[in-house]
Amino acid sequence: MTRSSAPIDPASAEWLEALFFSLSSARGIVAAVSGGPDSMALMHLLALWRGSAARPPVIVATVDHGLRPEAAREAAFVAAEASRLGFPHRTLVWTGPKPGTGLQEAAREARYRLLIGCAREEGATHLVTAHTLDDQAETLLMRLSRGSGLAGLGGMRPERDRDGLRHVRPLLDCPKSMLLALCGRERWPFVEDPSNLDERFARVRWRRLMPALAAEGLTAERLAGLARRARQAEEALDAKAAEALGRARPVAGEGGLRLDAAPLAEEPFEIALRAFVQALDRAGIRPETGRLQRIEACVGRLRDALAKGEAFRATVSGALVRLDARGGLTLAPEPPRRRGRAPV
């Protein structure tokens, strides 16, 4: 049973323990609170959880992106509510020029950069955000529209490592309507962000489509269920890919990561693809966003060359890929001066 299938009783110690179980080992927690109903519910639930036993210290942080004049006032509102609950508060301001395109993506990157910096300064080990079931469904639809692979269809993870910090999303099984009802019932105040109605942003446009999709059976709960199943399949495939990479006997050296490419030809394509990406990671190369098709093409040509006993050379996603005629594969970071000049 998911947490969202049970009625929320903020006085229930058992429910709160299940909700925040992942935070019990934290040495310190930064809670990202914008002032909206989701994050205000999170802050109040953390206060109830903290009051039931000895807990790690919690610091509330609000990011002011500097994009709306109301943002400073909203941060002050959160600070006052946090103080009333006994939480210290910090306002983190995104300064500097803002991009003309890709604003939401840049704001997201800036937000996490500021939150991670705050956590490090405060000695916190965990970051909590108030992403909900509805946020998960919207994320899945956005990634579907961009042609995402199985990894992307796994949506947001309930927990993940973020630059050495444990990022936890305890409300990911909770519908937004449930949290709104909770705020209303418990008289927890919140603010409305007008940017949530701005259709310049893809997430807002997808949110507007959700009722029509739900009427056809594509509800947020079913989309979140698809994401959960995709994550399960992803874990199984990654485990098989790790086994294949182990058989390739990768060895790191000055010239890059050296391995036997034969297992990449013996396995099904999806396993070979994942083993190749894992090898890139071992070589210190992070595949660039949106490069999945190019990596797939590279692995396809690599397998063809292996079958023919031919040498092969290509650059893809920041990596220099070299296969010799004996099946030895070397992966190394592509020299900066050649980036993008010798594509697959």
Nearest Cα neighbor of 42 from 193, 168, 204, 216 is 168
Record the tokens describing residue 28, joined without a space. 């310190």
Nearest Cα neighbor of 278 from 313, 319, 334 is 319
Q: What's CA 43's distance to the chain center, in Å?
A: 21
Longest dimension (CA), the chain: 71
Is there a contact between 130 and 32 (Cβ–Cβ < 8 Å)?
yes
pLDDT value at position 58? 97
Q: What is the mean pLDDT of residues 275-289?
A: 86
Is there a contact between 91 and 59 (Cβ–Cβ < 8 Å)?
no
306-338 residue pLDDT tens: 999 999 999 988 899 999 999 999 999 988 754
CA dihedral 65, 68, 69, 71 (to 10 degrees): -50
109-156 residue pLDDT tens: 999 999 999 999 999 999 999 999 999 999 999 888 888 778 889 999
Output the average pLDDT for the chain: 89
Give the confidence band of 290 by pLDDT, cuts at 50, 70, 90.
low
- From 3.40.190.10, 3.40.50.620, 3.30.300.20, 3.20.20.370, which CATH number describes the 3-227 domain? 3.40.50.620
The residue with tokens 């949110």 is 207
User: What are the φ and ψ backbone dihedral angles of 124, each rounded to 5 degrees?
Assistant: -85, 150
pLDDT value at position 342? 47
Q: How far apart are CA 255 and CA 283, in angstroms?
A: 10
Write the CB contacts of 197 (distance below 8 Å, at least 6 apart in sequence).
Answer: 204
Query: SS3 for 15?
Result: helix
pLDDT value at position 11? 56
Give the confidence band of 288 by pLDDT, cuts at 50, 70, 90.
low
Is there a contact between 330 and 255 (Cβ–Cβ < 8 Å)?
yes
Is there a contact between 260 and 329 (Cβ–Cβ < 8 Å)?
yes
Give the confidence band of 7 by pLDDT, cuts at 50, 70, 90.
low
Would you say residue 6 has pLDDT above 80? no
Give the confidence band of 100 by pLDDT, cuts at 50, 70, 90.
confident
Question: Per this entry, what is the length of the chain?
Answer: 344
> 244-273 as b/e, with b when 16 or more CB fall inside 10 Å?
bbeebebeeeeebbbbebebbeebeeebbb
Would you say residue 174 has pLDDT above 70? yes
Radius of gyration of the chain (CA): 23
Would you say residue 282 has pLDDT above 60? yes
Query: SS3 for 59?
Result: strand
Distances (CA, A) of 156 to 109, 138, 227: 15, 10, 8
Neighbouring CB atoms inside 10 A of 135's CB total 22
184-229 residue pLDDT tens: 999 999 998 766 666 777 788 888 888 999 999 999 999 999 999 9
Is there a contact between 132 and 175 (Cβ–Cβ < 8 Å)?
yes
Percent above pLDDT 90 for the chain = 70
Q: Which of 44-53, 162-171, 286-295, 320-329 has the lowest mean pLDDT?
A: 286-295
pLDDT value at position 4? 42
pLDDT value at position 238? 95
Would you say residue 340 has pLDDT above 70? no
Give the confidence band of 291 by pLDDT, cuts at 50, 70, 90.
low
pLDDT value at position 3? 44
Is there a contact between 62 and 93 (Cβ–Cβ < 8 Å)?
no
Give the confidence band of 289 by pLDDT, cuts at 50, 70, 90.
low
